[in-house]
Structure 1
Amino acid sequence: MTPALFGFVADLVYREAGMVLRPGKEYLVESRLKPVAKATGHDTVGSLANALRTATAALRTQVVEALTINETSWFRDREPFSALTDTILPDVLAASTRPVRIWSAACSSGQEPYSIAITLEKALPAGRGYQIMGSDLSEEMLRRSRAGRFNQLEVNRGLPATDLVTYFQRAGAEWEAIPRIRQNLSFQRINLCATLPPMPKFDVVFLRNVLIYFEPETKRAVLDRVRQVLNPGGWLLLGAAESTVGIDSVFERVPVGRTAIYRAPARDRQMVKEVTQC
């Protein structure tokens, strides 16, 4: 792949998904796009990249999805899930009696939203409902998430054996989430770098290990969109290497254990609500 073609692909990914591919990532583009090139009848990745100049929207989407990072595991980093049970849920439960609503943004193949569901199954009082929406840019990742099926290698990446036998059942060579879990989850394709579709307000948003791939202006825009769909005083969880510091001054940083979580100010959200109703 020539530098010019790499630059073209990098520009496409930035425009479509907000992700920055800097020089030096040519190996990533080559490895991710080889299967796409083969599947679409191109001899080389360079040929595929060149064809993108006049390609259909479907092929461009296929290329962008192939280059989207899909690294995930069960209860990743653990600290955010401890913060959810020890700090966030008591606050949310005291605020209302409706079902707890959580958005798992950029959920990849579904391990995060299902980890959240397991956490709520254990932590919520009897009779308290919950709704979890998972979203991703990739239709393939969403298909896998909706299926709720994971192979043995995938469940071995952080899913405790007790949770596996309690919340999953055998489905051939895979493990499938039990109906009680799956009925509380929904999945939707959402591009965080575009206007968000209509959706309910959430108590908590998991936006973990996403902002690190964006430039400051994109990060700021994404955080603003997320804040608009949070309930007054709603909570935001970011990745261990991410922060709103220097990007967004509205979210309040709340240290919890060895991590930090972020809260949308209730007064700010109430003012937005009042203006919207005028």
Structure 2
Amino acid sequence: MTFNLQQYLIEKQDLVNRYLKLILGQFDQTHELIMAMDHSLMAGGKRLRPILSMAAAQACGKDFLIALPACCAIEMVHTYSLIHDDLPGMDNDDLRRGIPTCHKKFSEATAILAGDALLTHAFNVISFPEQVFHTYPDHQTRIDLISRLSQAAGIQGMVQGQMLDMQAFHSKQNNDLTHLKKIHSLKTGKMIIASVEAGALSIGSDSGTLKKLIVYADKIGLAFQVVDDILNIEGDPKIMGKAAGSDKLNDKMTFPTIMGLDESKKYARKLIDSAIEAIREFDEKATPLRAMANYIINRDH
């Protein structure tokens, strides 16, 4: 039977959204902080990272539902990063996921605190999953998940990548491909690797399986950013839910500015091919992972 990726994505998005709603539903919905968190968290993102977690768990042949606490925590951390990236002191964006950014809808101070709240509560979700979830990993696995997610999101990962990205912009290091790859391996790649790791760890995968999945995740993480840079040139703002052309306007270092548009497309394809090769030995249970790799290179938003 032909695998229907679109149906798979919709089903998993609905599942993640349902549990994110339950997490926020524990708090007073009339508080501005909770409203701001809900505004950004429930704005209808792709949920790529949590879906990758579930697909990785599925590829290892187990019930992916045990990965849901980590999935939701990862999406909360990701949304926090988007709220902060959009702030006037960072990218200064007005739209995110087709609606006003958090600081535009509320205030800059509220947006900062909403991001802080999502980040910190994400680790509570993993630590005490029984508050919302019926199935979850054992205590030691949860500690491992917290450790890996905190590393991926912090000084050794996403936050450091964002810092390097800002420094590159201000110093106009616009022709250093090695430095650009380092920025995005930290800024985007580490969280995508952590997402795939989380799914495999939640169901108790062995180290050999984990290594192959990490190679897969590393390749698709970089490909994701290359495609993002391409879409900033060629994408339709109505489909993407955010403005196009901002990279060129801001003289930002991107893959197309260094490699050219056509070479960037070839490079993204090469990365995706390498990712699929890394999980070649996996059986049909890894079909969603393969389909999602191809989705990354063919997406329009």
Q: Into which bin does the TM-score normalised by the smaller protein fall?
A: under 0.3
**Between structures 1 and 2, the one with greater helix share:** 2
- The higher relative CO (CA closer than 8 Å, separation ≥ 6) is in 2
